[in-house]
Amino acid sequence: MDKQINIVETLDWYLWAGVDEICADKVCLSENLEKKPAISYNSISKVTVQNTLSRPVHSNSTNLTALKNARDICAKVETLDELKSVMLAFDGCNLKDTAASTVFGDGSATAKIMLIGEAPGADEDRIGLPFVGRCGRLLDKMLAAIGFNRKECYITNVLPWRPPGNRTPTDDEIAVCLPFLKRQIELIHPDIILLLGGIALKAVMDCSDSISRTRGKWLEYSVENKNIQVLATYHPSYLLRSSAQKAKAWTDLLRLKRKIDELK
Ligand code: URA
């Protein structure tokens, strides 16, 4: 029995590896596994689903060359379209190996308000746009509650690639993706940034304080000759799990609305 595939353990392993949905009818096994159906845990590491795990998985330590590359590439980019192209071509983040899409920002390139989330989830990874799943529907309602819609804003994430199984991104993954986000902020040049959740707060503001202590307070982010007003609030996925916190998010939204009116 222990030489046979144990379906429950195998699925459990897939989940652990971040493979939490089936994208194709057929699981693709590496050549060896096709010939040998009795597999052990070690050999399961060769299983790929729709080839998403077929590229070598990079080590998790900070890849300084990748970071330098990302910074150099971003410094040369002058438009959002160029930034999108270089991001699509960038191979310095291990998350790209398991993601189906590179999820770039979406919305108005001349938006006064920029929203920054954490990373694409399963729906965003499949569709290739930020905040289009359950969290996105809540975000749309939050914006509508203060008289806005997503087309008037620019919405993006700290990471353009979905971490397997929606795990929390590592500091190294955040660091290597940050130059792309910072360049997006410079190119959009918004008046206001709304940070959704603790990862966006930590990445953009380099803030080690928790989201629960920092949310609702105005902060500043300096680009070129402008101080962008920054507000952090709870991430919609947290609000979906903890609806008792929605009242606090509502006060943050009202604060955001007041600032938007002030800056008009
Ligand atoms: N959560 C995020 O942080 N970003 C998305 O795009 C979707 C869910």
**How far away, in angstroms, is 32 Cα from ligand 1 center?**
37
Substitution candidate for ligand 1 out of 95, 237, 238, 241 with most atoms within 8 A of CB: 237
Ligand 1 nearest-atom number relative to CA 236: 1
- Predicted local distance difference test score (pLDDT) of residue 228: 98
Burial class of residue 131, CB neighbours in 10 A (0-12, 13-18, 19+): buried
**Non-local CB neighbours of 208 within 8 Å, separated by 6+ positions:** 202
**How far away, in angstroms, is 151 Cα from ligand 1 center?**
16
Q: What is the residue extent of each domain of the chain?
A: 7-43, 59-263
**How far away, in angstroms, is 18 Cα from ligand 1 center?**
16
Substitution candidate for ligand 1 out of 124, 129, 155 with most atoms within 8 A of CB: 124
Per-residue tens of pLDDT for the chain, all 264 residues: 556 677 777 777 777 666 666 655 555 444 443 433 333 333 333 333 333 333 334 444 568 999 999 999 999 999 999 999 999 999 999 999 999 999 999 999 999 999 999 999 999 999 999 999 999 999 999 999 999 999 999 999 999 999 999 999 999 999 999 999 999 999 999 999 999 999 999 999 999 999 999 999 999 999 988 999 999 999 999 999 999 999 999 999 999 999 999 998
- Predicted local distance difference test score (pLDDT) of residue 44: 37
**How far away, in angstroms, is 237 Cα from ligand 1 center?**
8
**How far away, in angstroms, is 182 Cα from ligand 1 center?**
18
Ligand 1 nearest-atom number relative to CA 158: 3
Predicted model pTM: 0.81
- Predicted local distance difference test score (pLDDT) of residue 15: 72
What is the DSSP secondary structure assignment for residue 113, as one 8-state letter? Answer: E
Number of Cβ within 10 Å of residue 227's Cβ equals 11
**How far away, in angstroms, is 122 Cα from ligand 1 center?**
9
Burial class of residue 37, CB neighbours in 10 A (0-12, 13-18, 19+): exposed
**How far away, in angstroms, is 222 Cα from ligand 1 center?**
24
Is-contact 237 135, C-beta < 8 A? yes
CATH 2.120.10.30 fits 59-263, yes or no: no
Ligand 1 nearest-atom number relative to CA 123: 7
What is the DSSP secondary structure assignment for residue 207, as one 8-state letter? Answer: -
Residues framing ligand 1 (Cβ under 6 A):
117-121, 124, 130-131, 135, 157, 237
Smallest CA-to-CA distance from 140 within 132, 244, 255 is with 132
- Predicted local distance difference test score (pLDDT) of residue 21: 65
Ligand 1 nearest-atom number relative to CA 131: 6
